[in-house]
A and B are shown apart, each in its own frame.
Chain A
Amino acid sequence: MASRRPVLLVLFALSSVVALVVHCKADECLRLSDCGDGLTCVDGTCVDAGGDAPADAGKADAGADARRADGAVDAGRLDANEHDASLGDARLRDGASADVEHGDSPADGSRDAHATDGKRSDAPLDEAGKVDGAPDSGAREDSGVHDAARD
């Protein structure tokens, strides 16, 4: 009878391990080798390291686009500021507001430009299409401001 006790203890321990194992999640990782090729273990979960990089790259591109748009806006603002002395505060305000809209959403900017100023609408439309090219946008903005000035 006494010799059965260790066997029962071992069986109990085995069944306990099996019961615990059944309740464990299978998609978690503890070690880097728990994850497949191209995956890495981060905070207990396998994540696609290669997949994250393009996603980040996309965000970086988006950020770069935003920066380019900001650059265009800045260029426009600079141009507007350059014309500030000659054209006055009203021209500067119009030019700056149009540039900001182009930076955020070229289409919206163009619609606003159409709605506010018929002559100036051509220049902001072109600028919106070439928002990446800061010098061009600045030149277009110059023409737009001059058109507005002629108005």
Chain B
Amino acid sequence: MTRFNQSALTIAVLAVLLSAHEAKAQQYLIGGSAGLATGLAGGGGATSVLERARTRLRVAVDLRVDEFPKDIFVVGMVAELEPHASFGLDLRYMRSVSKKIDLNVGAIGYIFPESLIGPVVGLDYHLVVGGVELVAGPEFNVFFLGTDLPSDSVVWQALLQVGVHFGL
């Protein structure tokens, strides 16, 4: 190969490399949310009871990949504020079914001062008002494990949650 040919090949390679666009890397999209919830709680053993559910504060972080923006994974901290306090965590898989509606399913567990564990399903409706993304929707929990349950008892909660969502 002549020197001319070598130079031409080098220029061609450099031209290709310099003209190529940078490959777009997979991006993680992280968001946060905070909301208050209350509603009804029921269940019990032989005698069914219906009462107001404890007011709950939930702060969560959601993670999605830009290649699959409809699949969202959420980790949240939940704290019941009144009339009795407790603290716990939840893990959820959220699926966007439209631009404004997300469905989620997962598990929620209170761990302090007593434990209470069960599945959770919910719906979030996103509404942007004045540049703020509001989130509201129902949520349904069933607790069938934990030291806070009376014997032979299951507790359910039907909550309405209202909060805000923001990007991080």
Within 8 A of A (CB), among B16-45: 38-45
Interface centre among B47, B150, B162 (most CB of A within 10 A): B150
> Chain B's nearest CB lies how many Å from the CB of A38?
15
A14 proximal to B (CB < 8 A): yes
Let me know if A31 and B155 touch, CB within 8 A: yes
Let me know if B160 and A24 touch, CB within 8 A: no
- Which residues of the partner chain A approach B148 to less than 8 Å between Cβ atoms? 31-33
Contact of A32 among B40, B114, B138, B162 (CB under 8 A): B114
Q: Chain B interface: which size bin? A: 20 to 34
A42 proximal to B (CB < 8 A): yes
Known contacts: A7-B127, A24-B50. The answer to whether A42 contacts B40 by CB under 8 A is no
Contact of A10 among B46, B136, B155 (CB under 8 A): B136
Instruction: Give A33 to B84 CA distance when docked, in angstroms.
Output: 7
Known contacts: A6-B125, A10-B136. The answer to whether A21 contacts B155 by CB under 8 A is no
Closest to B100 in A: A6
The 8 closest A-B pairs by CB, nearest first: A44-B49, A43-B47, A21-B52, A44-B47, A31-B148, A28-B49, A10-B136, A44-B44
Interface residues of A (CB under 8 A from B): 3, 6-7, 10, 13-14, 17, 20-21, 24-26, 28-34, 40-45
